[in-house]
Amino acid sequence: MNTTIMLFLLQDGITNGAIYALLGLALVLVFAVTRVILIPQGEFVTYGALSYAMLATGQVPGTARLAVAMGLVAFALDLFFARKALHARLVMRSAALNIVFPAALLGLIYALVGPNTPVAVNIALALLIVAAIGLFLYRIAFQPIAHTSVLVLLIASVGCHLALQGLGLVFFGAEGLRGPALSNTAVTAGPLRFTGQSLAVYGLTVGFIVALWLFFGYTKTGKALRATAVNRLGARLVGIRTTLSGQIAFLLASVIGAISGILIVPITTLYYDTGFLIGLKGFIAAIIGGLVSYPLTAVAAIVVGIVEAFSSFYASNFKEVIVFTLILPVLVLRSLAAPQVEEEKD
């Protein structure tokens, strides 16, 4: 192997790794706040990517209608759980978030959609759709069982993944889609060529890590989210709505997932079920980071990306095997290093 090939593989690995890092960060974020291992993270990726790709062809993606339907269910749940203390303000607030917001979004999409809609508008619409789905997914599937064990939450999470993946097939079909490039600029440095696309990937990943760090370290809302993760009862006792914390976590995760999807869909063809595998690689990074550490997760994700790039060069048939095998020594080491901790009852 010569240096040029090695540099290419490294570049490729780092670009993919940056995407995995974004997804890994979202997983850590959601687990920290809600104790949910977010298997449907991959669906946020596909939904974001394919909604964007469909909008670019001038079609209204089915995900927009799904958001409206989920909003209705969320509204019904809100009413049901608050039935003992129903008051106008609560109903109005719930209706605004769960009905008016997705309905307005759907209306906006019908008004704006077309083959000549600017890329930026399509991106914004795709992000809003997935954000709404993420928010309602928490409300419908996880908020009612927020107090249960990690295992129950995980099973619910797998269920959501299967349901969303099936719906993905309905909305996008079995054919893969590709989206238009975000930018056509390119920079050449020695033998390497950096496209505007990959530069956007690096920029956004670094930007998100810094933004998350600032958000969790310095803002009241960020600290409240951390507090919810550290001590749920303690958080409630100071008046933090832990359900709201969960919604914010899911909102952030779904937006991060959708952004990752939009970043990769111009480079690779995505199918309705591609997201799962991509999300799984972010999951490996998150596990290596112990589901708690953001920096460790980001570094691990880059390593996963590089290992994947090199193994696809040397033994492309075993690419996935090699990547997923990475998790084994980590788990063994972790189980040796940390004494077994009983899950806290709450």
Partner 1 sequence: MSALLSVADVHISYGKVEAVRGVSLDVAGNEIVTIIGANGAGKTTLLNAIMGVLPLKGRTTFAGVDMAPLDIEDRVATGLSLVPEHRELFGTMNVEDNLELGAFRIAKAVAATSLERVYTLFPRLKERRKQLAGTLSGGEQQMLAMGRALMGAPKLLMLDEPSLGLAPIIVADIFRIVGELRAAGVSVLLVEQNAQAALQIADRAYVMELGEFVLSGSAKDIAANKGVAASYLGFQHEGESAI
Rounded CA separation 110/104 (Å): 10
Of the pair 85, 337, the CB lying nearest partner 1 is at: 85
Stretch that binds partner 1, among 8-16, 171-179, 234-242, 301-309 (CB under 8 A): 234-242
Closest approach, Cβ 79 to partner 1, in A, equals: 14
Q: How far is the CB of 293 from partner 1 (least distance, A)?
A: 12
What one-character-per-residue DSSP string does 224-239 give? HHHHHHH-HHHHHHTT
241 makes contact with partner 1 (CB under 8 A): yes
The reply to whether 137 sits near partner 1 by the rule CB under 8 A is no
Which residues is 195 bridged to in the sheet?
A: 186
Contact flags string 65-84 toward partner 1, x per CB under 8 A: -------------------x
What sign for the dihedral angle of Cα 154, 158, 159, 165?
A: positive
CB of 85 vs partner 1, minimal distance in Å: 3
Under 8 Å between Cβ of 112 and 59: no
Give dist(CA 67, CA 295) in Å, integer: 33
Considering the complex, state which of residue 1 and residue 341 has its C-beta at the smaller distance from partner 1. Answer: 341
Q: Cβ 346 to partner 1, closest distance in Å?
A: 11
CB 119 within 8 A of CB 56: yes
Residues 152-181, interacting with partner 1 (CB under 8 A): none
Residues 81-110 that bind partner 1 (CB under 8 A): 84-85
Residues whose CB falls within 8 Å of the CB of residue 341, separated by 6 or more in sequence, listed in order = none
> Looking at 57, 231, 269, 293, which residue binds partner 1 (CB under 8 A)?
231
Length of the chain counted residue by residue: 346
Q: What is the DSSP letter of 322?
A: H
Shortest reach from residue 306's CB to partner 1, in Å: 31
345 scored as a contact of partner 1 (CB under 8 A): no
- Is residue 239 near partner 1 by the rule CB under 8 A? yes
Do residues 41 and 253 lie in contact, with contact meaning Cβ atoms separated by under 8 Å?
yes
Backbone angle region of 210, left / alpha / beta, with phi > 0 → left and psi within -120 to 50 → alpha:
alpha
Among 149, 236, 319, 327, binds partner 1 (CB under 8 A): 236
* Among 237, 336, 337, 338, contact with partner 1 (rule: CB under 8 A): 237
Considering only CA atoms, give the Rg of the chain.
20
**Which residues are near partner 1 by CB under 8 A?**
84-85, 220, 223-224, 226-227, 230-231, 233-241
